[in-house]
Amino acid sequence: MIPRHLIIAVVVLGVMASGMSVYVWNMRGRVVRTEASTPNSQPVARPAAGPSEQVTLYVAYDEGGMLRPQAARIPLPSGRQERAEELLRALVDIYLGKSSPHVLGTGSEIRGVYLADPGLAVIDLNAAFANGHRSGVLVEELTLTSLVATLSANIPAITQVKILVDGKERESLAGHVDLTAFYDVARVNQLVTQLAAEP
């Protein structure tokens, strides 16, 4: 004969287990509905951090095939490497804008900039940047010079620049301009002078 208090305890536990199951099932449905009904509205772009500072961006203009220095105020963090990244991202934002003077492919991004002593900067582009880039000597040269000149004009003591794509070396940007080399900033600045002159 099973004691009466044991029967009551089993029944109570069974009711509680059933109740918990129903509660958990309802909660699961609510989470699914919540996730489905609220799309991610967070901005993809990184949050601006730090006070705005005046910088010089070397902007490429396909019209005339020129490179022109352009003053801009952008928020810059304090770290040297982060500043370098923000600078180049600000430059790329100009090229991705509606009235871009030098159109880049959709999704072009600066993945990172790495500063290595002594004076070497490594710019890491994403694959979309290179894969979507227009092919041609001048159009590729304008992009390369724009990146190198902007970096060296605003980050002191950079003497050499290397460009990677998705963290790897690539033979050329879009079939012409060499990406296997380490570029002397002094040499590139001579090219900047040539590209700044009216054709």
Partner 1 sequence: MASNNAAGSIVQHEGTEEGENLKLFDSSRFAHVLGRFLVLASAVVFSSPTVQSQFSVYSKAANYSVAVVERNGTDYLGLLELLEPLGVVSARQNGDHWKLRYNDVESEFVMGQARTRIRGKDFNLPASFVLENGRGLVPILGLGTLLPQILGGPITLNLFGRRLFIGDVAIHFTAEVVNTEPAKLVMNFGNPVNPMIATEPGKLEMIFTHDPVVAPGSQTLTFDSKAIPSATFEESNGIAKLVVTTTVPAMASFSNDGRTITVTPASTPVLPAHAPPQTPPAVPATVPPAVASREPGAPVRQHVFAVIDPAHGGDERGAALTDQLQEKDVTLAFSRHLRELLGGRGLSAWLERDSDVTLSLDQRAAMSNASGAALYIAVHATSESNGVRLYTALLPSGGPNQGWFLDWDTAQTAFEGLSQITAASVTTELESKQVSVRNLSAPLRPLNNVVTAAFAIEIGPESDDITQLSSPEYQERLAEAVVSGVADVRDQLEARRK
**Nearer to partner 1 by C-beta: 164 or 191?**
191
Do 189 and 158 touch, CB atoms closer than 8 A? no
Rounded Cα–Cα distance for residues 124 and 165 (Å): 6
CB of 144: closest distance to partner 1 in angstroms? 7
- Draw the binding track, 119-148, toward partner 1 (x: CB under 8 A; -: no contact): ---------------xxxxxx-x--x----
Identified binder of partner 1 from the candidate list 62, 82, 93, 166, rule CB under 8 A: 62
What is the footprint of partner 1 within residues 159-188 (CB under 8 A)? 160, 171-172, 175-178, 180-184, 187-188
What is the signed CA dihedral for 78, 83, 87, 90, rounded to 10 degrees?
Answer: -60
CB of 143: closest distance to partner 1 in angstroms? 11
The answer, yes or no, to whether the previous bond of 118 is cis (omega within 30 of 0) is yes
By the rule CB under 8 A, 190 interacts with partner 1:
yes
CB of 137: closest distance to partner 1 in angstroms? 5
Work out the angle between the directed axes of helices 185-196 and 137-154 (0-180°, nearest 10): 120
Do 129 and 109 touch, CB atoms closer than 8 A? yes
Burial class (CB in 10 A: 0-12, 13-18, 19+), 81: middle
Question: Residues interacting with partner 1, by CB under 8 A?
Answer: 62, 65, 134-139, 141, 144, 160, 171-172, 175-178, 180-184, 187-188, 190-191, 194-195, 199
